[in-house]
Amino acid sequence: MQIVLDIVAVALAYVIGSVPIGLLIVKIVTGKDIRQIESGRTGGTNAMRAAGFWAGFATAML
């Protein structure tokens, strides 16, 4: 049973890690596509450039 829980935990971690949080936050806050702004990456720094400090901070923390 432990192996099943381990496999589920790994699969869940993969799915959560593959969500582009920066893209979602900037899209919700400003409606802009972060991939078209500055460097084109979806990380915290570019989110801050596109939508302000708190969007960048939230992206970095999540």
Please tell me the pTM assigned to this model.
Answer: 0.78
CB 57 within 8 A of CB 48: yes
Residue boundaries of the structural domains of the chain: 20-62
C-alpha span between 55 and 62 (Å, rounded): 11
Please give the pLDDT value at position 14.
97
**DSSP designation for 38:** T
CB 29: neighbour CB atoms within 10 A? 15
Mean pLDDT, the chain cut into blocks of 10 residues (62 residues total): 96 95 95 92 94 95 91
Residue recorded with tokens 């979602």? 24
Q: What are phi and psi of 29, to 5 degrees?
A: -75, -45
Please give the pLDDT value at position 33.
93
